[in-house]
Amino acid sequence: MDYRGRMKGGAGYLLLFILAAAILLIVADNAPATAQDKPANDMQILLEKIKADKKFLVSENMQLTEKEARNFWPVYEQYQNELFLLRSRTLKLITDYGAAYQDMTNGMAKKLLEESMTIEMLRLKLARSYLPKFQKALPDVKVVRYYQIENKINAALYYDLAANIPLVLVKQ
């Protein structure tokens, strides 16, 4: 499938900027809240809604007892905060790709690919490092369920990215 038609001129960069902004909203589901004395703006309200929606989705699908919930949610919050850092790197990667898209060099392509691989490796490493913490908080069956939920959320995010980010242009 040829994606070259999607990125002509300024419209392509606008598309990537809009996509990056949308990804930021999606990936920033765990952005630290601003100080309580500052008035909430529309963006902060939207970020909090996204965070709450994800937590609600997890909550509705985990079927936690009260004891399990007390043990699980602190670990979940910690994990989400660390995931946010990786998702921020993903957003930067997408932004860098958008900036280099039309004039991609071998050096830039290599750099972007290395960063993409590093992010994926770190995401898996993070998931593995939290496994004992989740296993301490929950029975293994529920740990597997939680990881499945996270994987489904990641799959939906990656699907959206794949559908909206064109293949790199190869100049002949």
Tokens of 116: 């993409």
Averaged confidence pLDDT in the chain:
79
Q: What is the pLDDT of residue 163?
A: 85
Q: What is the pLDDT of residue 8?
A: 35
Whether pTM exceeds 0.85: no
Asked if 102 and 32 count as a contact pair (C-beta separation under 8 A), the reply is no
Q: Cβ contacts of residue 97 below 8 Å, gap of 6+?
A: 16, 112, 165, 168
Tokens of 51: 């965070």
